[in-house]
Amino acid sequence: MSLDICLVGFGAIGALYACALERSSKARVTAVCRSNYETIREHGLEIVSDRLGKIPSWKPHRVVRTVAEAADRPYTFIVCAMKCVPEVIKTTHILRPLLQKLSDSPATAIVLLQNGIGIEDDFLEWLDRHNLGNNVISGCAWVDTTAVNEGKTVTQSGSERLVLGYHRPAPSLVNLTGKFSEDIAKKQLDLLCTLLRDGSTNPEPVTDIDAARWHKILWNASFSTLCTLTRATVGDVLAVDSARTSLADIMLEVLSVAHASLSPSSSATLPDSVRFDIIRHENPKSVFKPSMLVDLEAGRPMEVEAIVGGVLKRARAVGVQVPRLELIYAGLSVLQKDLLRRRNAQS
Ligand SMILES: NC(=O)c1ccc[n+]([C@@H]2O[C@H](COP(=O)([O-])OP(=O)(O)OC[C@H]3O[C@@H](n4cnc5c(N)ncnc54)[C@H](OP(=O)(O)O)[C@@H]3O)[C@@H](O)[C@H]2O)c1
């Protein structure tokens, strides 16, 4: 029997993992497509991936245009793979037609394949407010993938790793805490990992997803932001000594917030030296442009709040000074304001 999975945001990450889920032969995906709806329906998608191989034309089981259209059946997983840009619209708002059906689907887990710090909070608060006990799983993708050719092709180069874990609700979310079952959450996580593994990708279940999110944000808050502010590739940034030093210094600020936010055992998984491992792991000749820069160049809103704003919010909450990140946030906010002004002028 095939499990029904709904995926909202059929871009680079969404298409890659939707394809893997269907390749498991145990799942069928309803993909909510926006600008690429006609293309995918008519021609399918070309995938050129070091992990999945070259697939000339692939279509998910069902392609729909809106979330409301997708909300006609229960799903085992609802996967969010669009950019997280709460300064434009909250993800919970985009998913509302699906979320409103959750009272009939207590077994549905929500999966956030998105970058950011604290991006799960809106979901956990929404579930608590509506007295629902659905689980929220986060995925941190260590992969370079891009939708190109007007969304007709998704490319993925190099290694691919998807770190996945479920969120335990904070005690302040009384309703959700009362309904939370570690056993059910673990089974859902195991099922998701099995599907992805059977679909030839590389899922890695972890018990501490908060630490994994901080680990991932180290890359985004440093590489993504510096590449975007300088409109340079990863390789271009790595080629300049002062920029390499800045990458490490920015990551040290993020680590100081992470250490003040996480439990001692979680903190211990993120030693200060991890920033040098992250820098060393990058190919000095990489021509990769982080998706934040791709968005800037395409005139689309960037994930400024989710990636930098989320860290700043935590920094204020735990009383840690982060002057480099404040400067980065200011610079990106200027660019974001201009992007949103142009976008509003067009609509
Ligand atoms: N790309 C990477 O290598 C990578 C690696 C790790 C993590 N991530 C994270 O993964 C997430 C997704 O990134 P991505 O690179 O895959 O983004 P992407 O290629 O820009 O794809 C996002 C997709 O979501 C769609 N979308 C946006 N809002 C929507 C809505 N309201 N309803 C339906 N579809 C909607 C977009 O449609 P339109 O074309 O109409 O805008 C687009 O097809 C982000 O949080 C990113 O930071 C990306």
State pLDDT tens for residues 158-202: 999 999 999 999 999 999 999 999 999 999 999 999 999 999 999
- Give the span between the Cα atoms of 67 and 18, in whole angstroms: 16
CA distance linking residue 278 with residue 259, whole number of Å = 18
Alpha carbons 243 and 241: distance in angstroms, whole number: 5
**In which band, very low, low, confident or very high, does the pLDDT at 347 lie, cut at 50, 70 and 90?**
confident
Give the residue among 109, 85, 95 at the shortest CA–CA distance from 8.
Answer: 95
CA distances from 110 to 65, 177, 287 (A): 20, 16, 33
For residue 82, give the ligand 1 atom closest to its CA: 24
pTM of the model: 0.96
How far does the centroid of ligand 1 lie from the alpha carbon of residue 2, in Å?
Answer: 25
Q: Residue 1: pLDDT band by 50, 70, 90 thresholds? A: low
Q: Where along the chain do its domains lie?
A: 3-207, 210-346
Ligand 1 close to Cβ of residue 83 (< 6 A): yes
On the question of pLDDT at 307 being above 90, the answer is yes
Q: Tell the residue nearest (CA) to atom 27 of ligand 1.
A: 82
Largest CA distance in the chain: 56
Question: In the CATH scheme, what is the homologous superfamily, with its name and number, of domain 210-346?
Answer: N-(1-d-carboxylethyl)-l-norvaline Dehydrogenase; domain 2 (1.10.1040.10)
Domain 3-207 has CATH 3.90.199.10: no
Residue 138 in contact with ligand 1 by CB distance below 6 A: no
Helix (H, G, I), strand (E, B) or coil at 184: helix
State phi, psi for 293 to the nearest 5 degrees: -70, -40
pLDDT mean over 202-226? 97
Q: Give bridge partners of residue 3 from the DSSP assignment.
A: 27
Identify the pLDDT of residue 94: 98
Q: What CA–CA distance (Å, rounded) separates 230 from 216?
A: 21
Report how far ligand 1's centroid is from the alpha carbon of 217 (Å). 17
Residue percentage of the chain with pLDDT more than 70: 100
DSSP at 286: -
Q: Is the CB of 147 under 6 A from ligand 1?
A: yes
